[in-house]
Copies of this chain bind each other. A is one copy, B any other.
Amino acid sequence: VKENEPQKLPVSSARLESLGDGIFAVAMTILILDIHLPTNLHIHTLRDFKQNFSPLLPNLLCYIISFIVLGIMWFGHRMMFEYISRMNRYFIFLGVLFYAVICFVPFTTKLLASDTEGWYNILLYGLNLSICNISLFAQWAYGISNRNLMHRELPDEVRRQANLLFLLSPVVYSIAIIVALWFPVISLWIFVVTPVLYLLPNKLDKYLP
């Protein structure tokens, strides 16, 4: 009988998205905030300039990689909500978990920047980025398996391609971590190249305006 059935609340995804935008915004800004200026800055010649800024270069590279990776994850997170528009408690907790891992990115980036060839640094950085993607995928998998949360039909092609995109980076980063045992420089290059793979045109572009 209908009377006993509770009236469902229309819990929209708007505020989870808004919390996420705030967290991404702070994490992204904080990333670059962590590049500390040399304490004694009197740059008069090109040599001074090189001397002061060369040690910042690996930092700069790490920060740029992380910024782009965060940008890509923000994009995936943003697109997810084109299909999923209503929330329940489990989805929201998966969402908060995702944000928790995102908040660690400035920390592991600083760690990697402090020694770009250290295996443990590469391990923690790769692990952090992988867990970001996996927890984003968990939200997606949970959301699309729950009819009540969905907003529009999910084409099969989108499902397949999304799975590919979600799982690509954890796989690649795992390889980077293993490779780093012998050739840490190659791992760094993998971190540089992987985001580029996500920037290339893909089969999902045709669903966008």
User: What is the interface of chain A, defined by CB distance below 8 A to chain B?
Assistant: 6-11, 15-19, 21-33, 35, 37, 41-44, 48-49, 64, 67-68, 71, 74-75, 78-79, 81-82, 86-89, 92-93, 96, 99-100, 103-104, 106-107, 110-111, 114-115, 118-121, 148-149, 152-153, 155, 157, 199, 205-209
Question: Quick one: given A21-B18, A78-B15, are A29 and B32 in contact (CB under 8 Å)?
Answer: no
Determine whether the beta carbon of A24 is less than 8 Å from that of B33: no
Determine whether the beta carbon of A96 is less than 8 Å from that of B74: yes
Chain B contacts for A11, CB-based, 8 A: 79, 82, 208-209
Q: Name, among A11, A42, A107, A209, the residue most crowded by chain B CB atoms within 10 Å (CB to CB).
A: A209
Chain B contacts for A49, CB-based, 8 A: 120
CB distance from A11 to the nearest CB of B (A): 6
Which of B33, B115, B208 touches A89 (beta carbons < 8 Å)? B208
Specify the chain B residue showing the minimal Cβ separation from A15: B78
Determine whether the beta carbon of B9 is less than 8 Å from that of A82: yes
Specify the chain B residue showing the minimal Cβ separation from A25: B22
CB distance from A20 to the nearest CB of B (A): 8
* Additional 5 contacts, C-beta under 8 A, given A28-B103, A93-B199: A10-B209, A22-B22, A23-B29, A41-B115, A68-B100
